[in-house]
Chains A and B, each alone.
Chain A
Amino acid sequence: MSRCRPTAAWLLGCALLLSVGCATTQPWERESLSRDVMRIDGDADEEALRHHVLSTREGTAGSFGGGGGGCGCN
């Protein structure tokens, strides 16, 4: 991995951390966030099967779980 990649990763991480608290949505503003199409994790059982295929067909796939959040209600 070249030197610029970890640097970029740290910058991205810092940018996200700085964004914490910048956006506060009120309960009445979460209608869109609570819709099914806004589920950031997808369906667990469907993802389990899909990841099983990906894990045997792509050498290094998959880190997007880690889960929860998004709807602002956890």
Chain B
Amino acid sequence: MRLQLISRSAVALLSVSSLAVSSLAVSSLAPRSAAAQSSSPEWRLAADALYYTDTDNVTAVSPSLSVRRRLDGGGWVGVRGAVDVVSAASVDVISHATTGFEEVRSEGSFDLSVPAGDVTVSSAYRFSYEPDYLSNGLSLGLQFRLGSPDTVLSINYRLSWDVVSRVHTSWEAFSEDLFTHGAALSLTQNLGSETVLRLVYAPMVQHGFLEKPYRYVPLFGPAGQRLANRIPENVPDLRHGHALGVRLLQYLEPIDGSVRLDYQFYAGSWGVTSHIVEVVGLASVVDGFRLGLRGRVYGQTAASFWQRTYTIEQVGHVPRWRSLNRDLSPYYALTGAARMEWNTGEFSGHIDGAVTLTRFEDFLLLDERVAIVTQIGLRWTP
């Protein structure tokens, strides 16, 4: 779990994202129309793989497999397993007197979605293991119409309990807890026969050990000289934030496709604010075959206590809050992606390739990173 060095903090903060995915594991499989319901498959097998590599010497391979079955009377039950194999020699890692590492993370999850009258109740449990990091996640969700089928309200809550440790150290000698509470309130509205609008509000709270046990902050003297000693990262034990998102989806009849526009704003108690804009276009080329393009812009400000370098003005006076976490620094990222989808009845699949340029504007160890992400997925719905 030296993966923590790479940017684990974001995983915890992004509880909303995980919440969304776990709850959607069932909701996205919900019947799409009365006609579709009668022909909805009993089983669904999904195999996915993701390959990530970047110019900061991080490589990751993440295969996953899931099986879901439609329940009598509606609803779904599913299990999913995933593995991350990461090798890293990033500046975060090699700046801590090691040449790099390889590590494996294993994750398993279970989800259930059951209709109860006009309400669909969903729940999910997830467990993730690394040699020095354990994570338990539980999510609950309610989804129901507001008056007509054109308006759907969804409420989700997720609790994550993580235990942080160190490699080559027993859990008894060092382990710290981190709790994350995330919620999402979303309202989805059909605006006519070809347009859908969604508004999402997602608050989140974290408390506990928000530092990384491997991350030590370099110190500098008044004249700018680097001091010999590093000190452990230290950040507040409480963090909360609020995200507001808008999604607009429009059908494009001439190309039998769609365009989707997303915008998200985030503001948190540590002073970080961020904006995300994403545009996704899909077009049918021939029957059962589609092409797509995606563009994404991400930008954020720094945490209030963020400094490129932490300076000791007087002996013994170290800054109370200090961090070397690049996710607390100001930066922006630009992503361009293309995808291909096919559907031959029982079998369907997709290939997605993306390139992301990230520019760190005030991070001591790295100015720029280029990442390539390739994703492939196969579906079997007998």
| A contacts, CB < 8 Å to B | 1, 5, 9, 12-13, 16-17, 19-21, 23-25, 27, 29-74
CB of B19 to closest CB in A, whole Å: 7
6 tightest CB-CB pairs across the interface, nearest first? A65-B20, A69-B152, A62-B17, A69-B188, A66-B186, A59-B327
Q: Which of A25, A33, A63, A74 is the most central at the interface, judged by chain B CB atoms within 10 Å of its CB?
A: A63
| B307 close to chain A: CB less than 8 A | no
Partner of B23, one of A30, A40, A46, A66: A66
Contact flags (1/0) for B331-349 with A, using CB distance below 8 Å?
Answer: 0010000000001000000
Report whether A73 and B33 are in contact in the complex, using a CB–CB cutoff of 8 Å.
yes
Report whether B148 and A66 are in contact in the complex, using a CB–CB cutoff of 8 Å.
no
| B72 close to chain A: CB less than 8 A | no
Q: How many A-B residue pairs have CB under 8 A?
A: 293
Partner of B193, one of A29, A54, A60: A29
Report whether A59 and B10 are in contact in the complex, using a CB–CB cutoff of 8 Å.
yes
Query: For residue B11, which residues in chain A have a CB less than 8 angstroms away from its CB?
Result: 55-56
* In the complex, chain B residues 149-186 whose Cβ is within 8 Å of any chain A Cβ: 149-152, 154, 156, 184-186
Report whether A37 and B21 are in contact in the complex, using a CB–CB cutoff of 8 Å.
no
Kindly specify which of B129-137, B227-235, B237-245 makes contact with the partner chain. Answer: B237-245
Q: How far is the CA of A71 from the CA of B143 in the complex (A)?
A: 14
The tally of residues in B whose CB lies under 8 Å from a CB in A reads 111
Query: For residue B69, which residues in chain A have a CB less than 8 angstroms away from its CB?
Result: none
| B273 close to chain A: CB less than 8 A | yes
| B246 close to chain A: CB less than 8 A | yes
Known: A34-B36, A40-B198. 11 other contacts (CB 8 A): A23-B191, A25-B150, A30-B33, A34-B32, A43-B46, A52-B84, A53-B50, A59-B274, A63-B200, A65-B24, A74-B152
Report whether B17 and A61 are in contact in the complex, using a CB–CB cutoff of 8 Å.
yes
* In the complex, chain B residues 38-87 whose Cβ is within 8 Å of any chain A Cβ: 46, 48, 50, 52, 62, 64, 66, 80, 82, 84
Residue of A nearest to B21 (CB): A48
Q: With contacts A23-B191, A37-B290, A64-B247 known, is A46 near B48, CB below 8 A? A: yes
Partner of A64, one of B50, B80, B198: B198
Query: For residue A54, which residues in chain B have a CB less than 8 angstroms away from its CB?
Result: 14, 17
Report whether B24 and A47 are in contact in the complex, using a CB–CB cutoff of 8 Å.
yes
Q: List 13 A-B contacts (CB under 8 A).
A: A5-B267, A20-B151, A24-B150, A25-B192, A32-B253, A34-B36, A37-B256, A41-B24, A46-B350, A48-B22, A60-B243, A60-B300, A67-B20
